[in-house]
Structure 1
C-alpha cells in the first residue's frame, strides 16, 4: 500500500533511534527535579499552542498566508513531540514506550512520523481550502455565508476521511473488514437516529433552495415561531424572537411546514382596518385615508397607498387601509402601523367623520301578557271564588 511504502522510505532514511539519547534522566536524578522538568515541558507545549495564533498572523503578514498554514502546525507539533520526549526521558520511560510500540520490522517510529505528516497535511489542506473559498466566492452575492460554510465543511470532511484512510493504510489495517463493520453500524445508526438524519438532509435542502438567509425576518407555520434568523447550521436554525428569546428550530421542522419570509422582497404591505358611520360619505373617507397614510414617513410612494371597502359591520362600514414599507422589520412595522392609525384618526376628526363604536338599540312589544313598558308584567285577573 502507498502508506506502507512511505513508511518504508522514511525508515530507510532514519538512523537507529536511541531511547536515551537526550540524557535528561542523567542530568535530573531527583523526583522533584523530574516533576519540575515535566511541568516546564508541558508549559512550553501549551505556550506554543497559545502563541500559535499570534504567530500565524505575524507570519502571514510578513510572508504569505500559505507559509503560515505550513509553518505553524509543524512548529506546534514539533514542540509537543519534544515535550513528550523530554518527559519520557526524564522519567526513564523511553525504552518502555518503544517496547510497547515496537514491531518486528522496526518501522514503528517511521509510521508515527508519516502519520504526523498526514495529519499536518490534512490541516494545511483544509486551511488552504478555506482561504480558496473566501477568495473565490467571498464577495459573491450568488453564494450566501451559509452555503460557503457548508461547502467548506463538506470539503473538510472529505479531506479528513482521505487522511484517515491513508493513516490506516500506513498501519496496514484491514480496510475490508472495517468497511463491512462501518456499513452495519451505519444501518443501525440510521434506524436509531432517523430524526437527526432527517434534520441533516433538510439542512442540505435549505442550503440548495435558500428560502431564507441570516438576518431575514421569517415565520414558521401558521402559528409557529416568528423572528430574525441568527444562525443556520446543518442540523437546526437559530431564531431570535421579538421578545428577545433565542429559539432553536430543527431543519426538518422547517422543511415540513409553511414558511413566510417577510424580508425576501425588501418591502412589506401593511393593512389597518377602520370603521366609518353609515351616515358618512364613504368615498370621502376613502380619499382622506389615502392622503393621511401617504403623508407618513414610513409609507412608500410606489406602490401607492390604497383604501378598499371591505364589509358591513354591525355599527360601521369597515375600510381596509393598505400601504407598503421598505426594509421590513418588527420595529418598522409597528412604528408604521402606529403612525398610520394616528394619521387616519386625526384626518377623520378634522373632516367630521365619525368612527362609531358598537351600539345596541333595545325595544319592547305588547305581547305574551306584558305591557308595552319594557319589563312590566300585565295584571293577572283575580280567580273566581275569592275570599268571602
Structure 2
C-alpha cells in the first residue's frame, strides 16, 4: 500500500508543458520524490515499531543478565577467597566485603538505567547535578554499599568468635549477627535520609509515635520478645539442659525470640512464652554438670546408728554411674514413729532424668540387700491385736466375734428380750452354768 501511494503521488505531480517526453518531470517533482519514499517507509511504522521494541527488550534482558551474572560472580569469588584462605586479616576481609557491596550497588544502578524507558533516571541525575544533589546521591550509594560491607565483615567476625568459643550457642550467634545488621542498616538509612531532607527530627518524632502505638497494641508480644533477648544473653539455661520451670520439667530443645520449648519425660513438647519463663522460678539441674540425689531409709531403734551408716555408704559406693567424688554419705535426718531415718546422699555426673531413676533404683536395691545381710531391720508399720483380761468389776470382753455376739445376747435376755439366734442361747446356757456353780459353792 505504501508503494501504491507513492506511485499515485508521483502521477499527480505537475508536468512542465514545454517538456519533450511524457515522463519528464519538473525539478520540483524530482526533489519531492525522496520525501515521498520516506513517507512511504513511515507508513510501514507499526510492523517496524514492534520489531524495534522486541529488539530493544532483548538487548535490555541480555544486559540485565550480564549485570546480575557479574554481581553474582563477584560474590562467589569473594566467598571462595574467604574459604580458601582462612587466615585473612581484618583489612583483607573488609576489602572483600567492600568489593561485594560496591558491586551490588553498581549493579542495582545499572539495572535501573537499563530498564529506564522514559529516561526519568537520566533526567533525575541531570536535575541532581543542576541542584547540587548529585554528590548526595553518590554519598548515599557509597553509604549503603559500606553498610553492606560492614555487616558482612562483622558477620564473619562473629562467626569466628562463636566457632572458637564454647559460651555462644549457634542460636545466640544468629541473634547477634541479625541485631548487628539491623543496627548498621538503620544508622545508614538515617544518614541517607538526612542527606535529602532537613527535617530529620520530624521523621524521628513520627517514628517515635509509631513505635508507641505499636508497643501499646502488641505489648504482650514485645514483652515476650524482650524476655527472649534477656534469656539469650543472661543464659539461665541452654539447649539440652534439664530444667524445671514452674510446674513443667523436661529438657530444653529450643530457645527462640518468642518462646522456649521443653521436652517432658513423658515425651510431650511443652511451649512456654518467654515472659512467663522469665517471671517464674527456674531450676537448672544440668548447670554444674552434676547433681546430688538423696534416698531415705529407716532402721530399727535398737540398731547401732554408726554401723548402719557405714553399711549404707558402702552399699551406695558400689553402684554404677554414682560419682566417686564427692563420696557418698549417710546422715541421720529424723526420728519417725517406728524408725530412725537416714538420708543416703550421692552425686551423678552429666545428670538426666533417666540416669537419676536408674541410679536411685540401683541404690535402693543395694541398701536393702546390705542391711538384710548385716541383720539390720528396716521397720514398717504393724498392728497387733490383744484381748483385755477379766476384771472383778465387769464381765470379760472377748475379742472374737462369737464372744461379742454372746455378750450382746446376754444383755438382751436381761432386758427381757427374745434371743436373736442360737448364739444367744449359748449365752444363756453359759449363764445358767455359772449360776449352778455358785450354788454349789454355797453348799
Do they fold alike, i.e. is TM over 0.5? yes
The aligned residue for residue 4 of structure 1 is none
Give the Cα separation in 2 of the matches to 1:197 and 1:70: 35
2:141 is aligned with 1:122: no
Equivalent positions of 1:208-287 (< 5 A) are 209-221=234-246, 223-228=247-252, 230-231=254-255, 233=257, 235-277=258-300, 280-287=303-310
Q: For residue 292 of structure 1, report the CA deviation from its aligned partner.
A: 0.9
Match of 2:205 among 180, 190, 193: 180
Change (3 A) 1:385 1:269: closer
The aligned residue for residue 438 of structure 2 is none
2:94 is aligned with 1:66: yes
Q: For residue 384 of structure 1, report the CA deviation from its aligned partner.
A: 4.2
Q: For residue 38 of structure 1, report the CA deviation from its aligned partner.
A: 8.6
The aligned residue for residue 14 of structure 1 is none
Give the Cα separation in 1 of the matches to 2:284 and 2:160: 30
2:348 is aligned with 1:329: no
Gaps of 5+ in 2: 1-48, 86-91, 419-443
Q: For residue 39 of structure 1, report the CA deviation from its aligned partner.
A: 8.3
Give the Cα separation in 2 of the matches to 1:385 and 1:209: 86
Provide TM-score, normalisation by structure 2.
Answer: 0.63
Larger-Rg structure = 2
Gaps of 5+ in 1: 1-24
Give the Cα separation in 2 of the matches to 1:326 and 1:65: 43
Change (3 A) 1:224 1:363: farther
Give the Cα separation in 2 of the matches to 1:241 and 1:82: 56
Q: For residue 291 of structure 1, report the CA deviation from its aligned partner.
A: 0.2
Give the Cα separation in 1 of the matches to 2:279 and 2:312: 41
Q: Is the 8 A contact 2:317 2:324 kept in 1?
A: yes
Pairwise CA RMSD of aligned residues? 4.4
Match of 1:57 among 79, 84, 98: 79
2:378 is aligned with 1:350: no
Relative contact order, higher structure (CA 8 A, sep 6+): 1
Change (3 A) 1:371 1:100: farther
2:337 is aligned with 1:306: no
Change (3 A) 1:104 1:38: closer
Equivalent positions of 1:158-173 (< 5 A) are 158-172=183-197
